Amino acid sequence: MLPKWFNDWNSKNPVDIYKPAILVGTLGGALFVLIALMTFGQPYETKSMQTGPRGTGMSVPEFVAQVETPDPTIDAYYTEEPYVPAGGEPLAKDIYQNVQVLGDLTEDNFNRVMNAMTNWVAPDQGCAYCHGDVDIAEYGNDDLYTKVVARKMIQMTQAINDGWGGHVNANAEVGVNCFTCHRGQNVPSDIWFKLGSVHARAAEGWSANQNRVTVQSQFTSLPSDALETYLLDYGVIGVHSLEAHVDEKPYQDGVRTWQDTERTYSLMNYVSNSLGVNCNFCHNSRAFYDVEQVTPQWGTEQLGIGMVQEINNEWLVPLEGVYPPERLGPVFADAPKAACKTCHKGYQQPLQGMNMVADWPELAAPGAPVYEAPASN
């Protein structure tokens, strides 16, 4: 029983005990978490790769668990060492009919490559995926579109390894082969088709190229036509003039509009997601536009953009007339196309930098391959 004077004073001077209690609870909880981290360690440990001068914020943080966890598709990779020819063996073009590529291989190596392609692209269907359910004597026929496409893809792979070493061999000589994109699937994941204006009518603002959830825009409100503009139509990537107060009109050639700016952001967002990195992986955080202050990865990415443009325009788009209707795009009935994510799948290096041509010199360049005898122990 408290005295009357205390009750009177307390009623006239109320005190909010909830705010101090919340503050004490918050500080106590933070202290508990800090003690737990100091005792047991960071459960989500990160690594940081510095890409520029110290103090500029140029670093790429990565969760250790993600970095050290192998790409799960690596387990499905099939490889086999080549058979080094002794000399004088008959060649595939002299044994089999209609061998338009890889004809300079010996029979053993030709069959070895065919077997690998089956494992890389059609492990469930087997040889029938390209040749049909026919006798081996009829394998020379070009009745199925899959065989015609496969032939072009072999040539494309050789062209990539032979002509774009600055990109595919930027860190080490690893190259690409069919598995780099297909990963055991008939159709590679992360291909894309043209969308153009993705909606007939826009509610407001800049027509129908943005503010629609699409895969191409990485499910953002950014424009959905960035891939076709820059990786197919050779659009100039840029966001603004480097001079202040320039008298420019949007209709003038070469003027970067805000639509171009947002389209560029859409492409850059796609590239970042494709490689699992942030902007500072390629750009200097204090001068994104200055090519004299970029990281070495910027040059590698520029080569990658050029490579993808060539892949799409010289190899994939010309196959449009070969594909059946169900393999074409849903809007413009266009051929499937490639971009960064088709190979990278969210990793800085496809298949985490695994050498894809070590056992496959046949795919490293057009023409007869150069084999090296295995090193003796």
343 marked ligand binding residue: yes
Query: Does 356 show up as a binding residue in the annotation?
Result: no
Q: Which long-range contacts (CB under 8 A, 24 or more apart) does 320-327 make?
A: 322/145, 322/148, 322/149, 323/145, 323/149, 324/145, 327/187
Nearest to 231 by CA among 175, 285, 183, 270: 270
Q: Report whether 178 belongs to an annotated binding site.
A: yes
Q: Are 271 and 301 in contact (CB under 8 A)?
A: yes
Measured at the alpha carbon of residue 193, what is the angle toward residues 190 and 196, in degrees to the nearest 5? 135
Tell me if 175 sits within 8 A of 356, measured CB to CB: yes
Question: Is residue 268 marked as binding?
Answer: yes
Q: Give residue 342's identity as a one-letter amino acid code.
A: T
| 49 labelled ligand-binding | no
Does the annotation list 131 as a binding residue?
yes
DSSP output for 12-77 = HS----HHHHHHHHHHHHHHHHHHHHHHH--TT-EEEEE-S-TTTT-EEEEEHHHHHSPPGGGGG-
- The answer to whether 245 is annotated as binding is no
Alpha-carbon 114 to chain mean position: 26
- Ligand-binding annotation for 340, yes or no, is yes
- Separation CA 358–CA 367 (nearest Å): 17
Residue 182 in marked binding region = yes
Tell me the CB-side half-sphere exposure of residue 31, using CA atoms within 13 A: 6
Q: Residue 236 in contact with residue 225, Cβ under 8 Å?
A: no
The answer to whether 199 is annotated as binding is: no
In sequence order, which residues have a C-beta less than 8 Å from that of residue 75 and are 6 or more positions away? none
Q: Is 58 annotated as a binding residue?
A: no
- Is 282 among the annotated ligand-binding positions? yes
List binding-site positions for heme. Answer: 114, 127, 130-131, 153, 167, 178, 181-182, 268, 279, 282-283, 340, 343-344
List binding-site positions. Answer: 114, 127, 130-131, 153, 167, 178, 181-182, 268, 279, 282-283, 340, 343-344
